[in-house]
Amino acid sequence: MDFEKLVPLMRRLAIEAGERILEIYNSDEFEVRTKSDESPVTVADETADALISAGLREAFPEVTLVTEEQAASHGLKAETFLIVDPLDGTREFVQRRGDFTVNIAYVEKGRPLRGVVYAPAKERLFITAADGQSYEETGPFDLNRPGEWTRISVSTPDNAALMVVASKSHRDQATDDYIRKYAVKDSKSAGSSLKFCLVATGEADLYPRLGRTMEWDTAAGHAVLSGAGGEVVRFDTHEPLHYGKEGYANPFFIACAPGVDLKSV
């Protein structure tokens, strides 16, 4: 893969999709429908998906593309693929809470190597550069000319005073019970893949997810966290989380800074 070509393209498509999403987000009203899995979908999801998919397919027609909004792609099998969630955090979008992102990632041999996470309403953009290091870009966000990139890296965690982030829309008793196994200094909630990015910047040490996710939900955030020195492991075995699984479904997982003393169930 030509990362010098891929990374600027992912960035541009994410920003362009974010602009379209914000137009709908800031409109007086928009229709919300329910998909077969009971999750919500809006015209913003579909508009962003069409834009990103067209851009990726034009530039990399030989690379398999998996995207949340195209059910036919969920049956594809490949070792190397691009994976997209055009609007991660649709519930936050619908409730106008701002914690939604555009996620685009590249996976090779089970590992998300490059990714971009753009939160247009929060004006935060996180990206893995061509060299694999992760950065946060400072806006305003020009489509073709990057702003200032600041290198990000995970914290050095204090296991006696951990900073924890958990899901805003999907937090449950099991998650709270697990978090109580740790000595927690502070706990916050966030939507979408922003949780990975908060660990990547050192704003949190630990993000446990005891709930259903799909690979398009996590791949871009995982790539950003990896490029910042962090890790994502299975909740049950603490082994690295891999991609390209059957149906692109994830097991429960934990995202963290190295050095966190991970607890068993």
**pLDDT, tens digit (0-9, with 9 covering 90-100), for 84-134:** 999 998 888 888 888 999 999 999 999 999 999 999 999 999 999 999 999
Is 90 assigned a ligand-binding role in the annotation?
Answer: yes
Query: According to the annotation, is 186 in a ligand binding site?
Result: no
- E strands in 38-145: 40-42, 64-67, 80-88, 101-108, 111-119, 124-128, 134-138
To the question of whether residue 87 is assigned a binding role by annotation, the answer is: yes
85 annotated binding-site participant: yes
Q: Which strand ranges, in their side-by-side order, compose the sheet holding 80-88?
A: 64-67, 80-88, 101-108, 111-119, 124-128, 134-138, 148-151
Q: Flag whether 217 is marked binding.
A: yes
Q: What are the pLDDT digits (tens) for 156-211?
A: 999 999 999 998 766 788 899 999 999 999 999 888 899 999 999 999 999 999 99
Name the band, by pLDDT with cuts 50, 70 and 90, for residue 152: very high
Tens-digit pLDDT profile for residues 202-240: 999 999 999 999 999 999 999 999 999 999 999 999 999
What's the whole-model pTM score? 0.95
With beta carbons less than 8 A apart as the criterion, state whether 161 and 167 touch: no
Domains of the chain: 3-151 (3.30.540.10), 162-256 (3.40.190.80)
